[in-house]
Amino acid sequence: MAGARMRLLRGLEIVLMGGQIRRVSRDKFLVKSQKGNGWYEVVWRNRKWRCSCADYKKRKKDCKHIYAVLTFLNLPSILMRNLVPDLNSCPRCGAGQEYLVKIGFRKNRSGPVRRFKCKKCGHTFTERLAFKSMRSDPFIIVLALDLYLKGLSTRMVAHHLSTMYGCNVSHMTVYRWFRKYVKLISAYIKKLKPKVGKRWHADETKINVNGEPAYIWNILDRKTRFLLASYITRGRGAKEALKVLESAVKRAGGKPCDLITDGLRSYEKAAKAVGVRRHIKNVKFSGK
């Protein structure tokens, strides 16, 4: 059991690193090897996910790559469940949660899916069916978050979803998805044990919140790419830089020797205040 828990956490970690999972099709994903041996194939066959890694071949049980795919697939529906608490209603007669009886599970690509029976009309359905509408499609949410993080405003994202996919969501919904996503990710990060070296990398990304600039701050370990702190702020002065750096030090249980940044002046003061030995500026993050 401890082994499965460990693999689950390693799977979460892979998702949180970003850029480690590629969706080839509904039935096939590529997950990057954490030891640098290229990509593993995670394939859905005979109602089961299978992986091409040595761990899976040996044990024939879910490996960290499979857990990564499961987390990746489930993240948006976890989001939706928190955003729309009354989403669980009978798709045929609309009866609310108080009429629904749980009648076991069915296994599909995203893991076990709960089955319900409606006491009012007798209809049986899986939880998935309740998520069928376009505006709660996991890929729409992932797409919206991706566009937003690339710098589009919430209004532009909403407009894009409407014209390209016929999916009508308000720009406020896009923003709520994003806030929820940040909260959810932070909750996961708190559960993980940090793997941290002496070199950290800090960056900040400018985003647009209701027409006003805001910043996402990230501090991660240079080698393991473990995300140590993530914040959204209005300003990007020394005060904000210090807040995110202090939070990273607390999370890691110690300070780094080197802090590598894009050269933003705010880090200068923050690094000094925390007692970081060296502040390296203008070094391109190699991703290694």
Residues near Zn ion (CB under 5 A) are 51, 53, 56, 63, 65, 90, 92-93, 95, 118, 120-121, 123
Residue type, 90: C
30-to-7, 107, 144 alpha-carbon distances in Å: 17, 21, 22
The nearest distance, CB 98 to Zn ion, in angstroms, is: 12
Residue 56 or 215 with smaller CB distance to Zn ion = 56
Q: How far is the CB of 240 from Zn ion (least distance, A)?
A: 39
As measured in angstroms, the least distance from the Cβ of 6 to Zn ion is 14
Cα–Cα nearest to 173, from 187, 188, 162: 162
Closer residue to Zn ion (CB): 131 or 148: 131
Nearer to Zn ion, 59 or 265 (CB): 59
Contact indicator for 202, 259 with CB cutoff of 8 Å: yes
Residue number with CB closer to Zn ion (97 or 168): 97
CB of 191 to Zn ion, least distance (A): 21
Please say which residue, 91 or 237, places its beta carbon nearer to Zn ion. 91
CA dist 107 and 184 (Å) reads 25
| Least distance CB 85 / Zn ion (angstroms) | 19
Q: How far is CA 159 from CA 24, 144, 147, in A?
A: 27, 11, 11
- Residues 18 and 23: their CA atoms lie apart, in Å, by 13
State which amino acid sits at residue 137.
D
